[in-house]
A and B are shown apart, each in its own frame.
Chain A
Amino acid sequence: MKKTIGLLLALLIAVVSLRGDETREILDRIDAFRIPYTDFLIQVRITSFVRDKVQEEAVFDSYISGNDRSLVIAREYKTRGMKILYVKENMWIHLPNTHRPIRITPIQRLMGEASNGDIARVGFGEDYDAECIGEAEHDGVLCDRILLKARAEASTYAQIILTVRKRDYRPLRADFYLLSGKHFKTATYDEYSPIAGKLILTRMTIRDEVRRSRKTVLEYGRIEQKTIPDRYFNKNYLIHVRDLK
């Protein structure tokens, strides 16, 4: 009897572990379309629209380091020089002409429909657990629907339903949900371009599910391998960060 229970337990652990590996693999394959290098610089142009009329435009440089650190600097914006630091589940902002960084929540809007987390975070693997919840068709393409559940409360969204191409897990659409279960925003992944021998997302559109006349387009331009020193990811150094070119 004891042997049987032991065997069943071992089997259960093996299944859970296999499932964990499978989940990890799904997230890695999805993130591969967003992350070309371990450390890199990605420049994003954000344009917000109301009823297809341009409201605001901005350009941000985002320095990504590994899976859980990024530094975003506003290059062209009404608050030019503004910096956002994201380390694990923590987020701070430093505004020009102020002298201390302020802790912020990822849900706070940065510009248009884009939240701070949309700009500062490029991958899902570090923040979410994945589970395949079925199939769907998107623009005539057979897709898997992947449910991403936030591991930490401070993740940008509590739940995301990703629609990915069945063949290669390329993300085509994402539906974002808040802790309350409210369908908050929808993103479509519109354009992919070859960078460093991989296909990388270069354009996405975020639509507000509450105020449906609003949308924000994120275009990823300059993408290059770049490593910046560790001190740049300490929130107290944020006020000393100078222009990085």
Chain B
Amino acid sequence: MRKFLRWAVPVLISMSQFLGAADVRMLGFVRIAGDAFRPTLFNPENFCADFLGWTAEPVLDLRQFLSFDFEGLSLHWRADITGSAEFADGRGGESDFLVNQFFFQKELTENLVLIAGRIIQRWGTGYAFNPADIVAPDKDLADPNNTEKRAVGNDMIMLEYYGLSFSLAACALTHTEIRNGLRLRNGRLALRFYKNIGQVDLSILTLFQNREMPVWAGSFAGVIGERLEIHGEARFQKSEAGVSTVYDHEILLGFQITLPGDFFLVSEYIYRSRGLSRKAWNRALDTSVSFTGMLNGPSAEAAAAGLLQNLNVFSPQGAMRHYLMIYLSSPSFRRLTAQSTCLLNPVDRSFVLIPALGWWVGKSFTFHVRNYIFLGKGKSEFGEFFQSNRWEFGLWVRL
């Protein structure tokens, strides 16, 4: 059945497109990506390079986004479905589909709105980190191409009252959490009170869930002058760790600014009490290295590499206590755009730098080149990453 659906959904999406039954967009890309490896604690004598070498794998990925938006039974219905087919060298074709959102919306009164179904809600104010985002779906680690477009919503019933400068939302949801690679579903009740005061948005949020203490969170965003926006989020939760009580907390502070010449800068800092300190990180490294030594076989390297990958930037929250993100983009010049993202671990001063160039050709085509550079001293988070460099060249097509 699933196999049938995998092919049927993209076909249905295509038919809808021709029939004009819904808002359908098609996105496709051809990408060539290559990785360079280096010897690190987890990649002694650069085993990864022997296994994988400098890889360059052309990938053709076609995605179709279908958005139904219609009235029926006095309700407003909306469905977002993604169908995708990927063709990679040596793997043949793989297809998939996702029901990202499927919900209805009913205006009970002029200001009271009921929403039920699968929906993606984001309640945070941050760009890279969202500690206060208690209803958003977790990103799927297994999917390296996971972007906003591929996120799948949580199933929920939400009631929200909209005042002139405030709103109050109550939301009962089932949340899928990805913990240690396992998908866990749990029931949650989330509440949000939002108020706009002057040029500042303030939100207070709380979350109740089974077998855990409530989470309390808050966020703000405001504008200072004509160019500067500042935002922040905080999250607190009391929990038991053995016999002692722990107060977990995460704090995010960030800003975005439009610089002269229309350069755009975003920066964010996050502190996570649950993250590893420098000492704990060193201990984790030592333990993993001795474990790798005990196994002593080809699978050991792969296991160690996988472990490190889980600990690094691609994990849902990152492994460490402190992170700083800086993003800079330039205004487009002759349809050429340049941007750069840097994720820095300020404790060990290791970082990943991602410069990128994009070139718009007409309305439908964009060429891009992107480079991931992992830098840092020995035993640092990004310095121990077994890849040193990743290049991506691609062409995006939008129809």
Contacts and interface: CB of A to CB of B under 8 A. Distances in A.
Query: Does B associate with A?
Result: yes
Interface of A: 78, 87, 89-91, 97-100, 103-109, 152-158, 178-179, 229-231, 233-237, 239-240, 242-243
B50 interface: no
B115 interface: yes
Contacts of A239: 121
A153 B196 contact: no
B258 A240 contact: no
Interface string B161-192: 01111010100000000000000000000000
Q: Which of B151, B162, B167 has the most CB of A within 10 A?
A: B162
B231 A105 contact: no
Contacts of A108: 258, 264
Contact of A107 (B149, B162, B201, B226): B226
Contacts of A99: 120-122, 136, 148, 151
B110 A105 contact: no
Given A230-B162, A236-B169, A105 B226 contact: yes
B227 interface: yes
A128 to B, nearest CB: 14
B363 interface: yes
For the complex of A and B, the 5 pairs showing the least CB-CB separation, nearest first, are A100-B122, A231-B162, A234-B162, A99-B122, A103-B221
Size bin of chain B's contact surface? 35 or more
Contacts of B201: 90, 103, 235
A154 B226 contact: yes
Contacts of B78: 242
Interface in B115-163: 115, 120-125, 136, 148-149, 151, 160, 162-163
B231 A103 contact: yes
Contacts of B228: 105
A236 B262 CA distance: 28
B229 interface: yes
Contact of A237 (B113, B120, B148, B363): B113
B105 interface: yes
B69 A97 contact: no
Contacts of B229: 103-105
B22 to A, nearest CB: 12
A240 to B, nearest CB: 6
Given A99-B148, A105-B226, A242-B69, 15 more contacts: A89-B199, A90-B201, A97-B65, A103-B222, A104-B229, A107-B227, A108-B258, A179-B225, A179-B226, A229-B111, A234-B167, A236-B167, A236-B194, A237-B167, A242-B76
Given A98-B148, A99-B120, A234 B226 contact: no
A105 B223 contact: yes
B224 interface: yes
Nearest to A157: B226
A105 B194 contact: no
B50 to A, nearest CB: 41
Interface in B59-94: 65, 69, 76, 78
Contacts of B151: 99
B125 A103 contact: yes
Nearest to A97: B149
Interface string B202-246: 000000000000000000011111111101000000000000000
Nearest to A182: B260
Given A97-B149, A103-B231, A234 B163 contact: yes
B113 A231 contact: yes
Contacts of A155: 226
A229 B110 contact: yes
A158 B226 contact: yes
A230 B164 contact: yes
Given A89-B199, A107-B258, A240-B115, A100 B164 contact: no
Contacts of B258: 105, 107-108
A91 B221 CA distance: 11
Contact of A90 (B111, B164, B223): B223
Nearest to B222: A103
Contacts of B115: 240
Nearest to B137: A99
A158 B226 CA distance: 8
B110 A87 contact: no
Given A89-B199, A108-B258, A103 B148 contact: no
A97 B148 contact: yes
Contacts of B231: 103
Nearest to B261: A210
B226 A153 contact: yes
Contacts of B120: 99
A19 B262 CA distance: 38
A35 B226 CA distance: 25
A105 B259 CA distance: 12
B199 A90 contact: yes
A91 B227 CA distance: 12
B122 A106 contact: no
Nearest to B335: A55
11 contacts: A78-B363, A87-B165, A99-B120, A100-B122, A100-B123, A105-B258, A154-B226, A179-B225, A240-B115, A242-B69, A243-B69
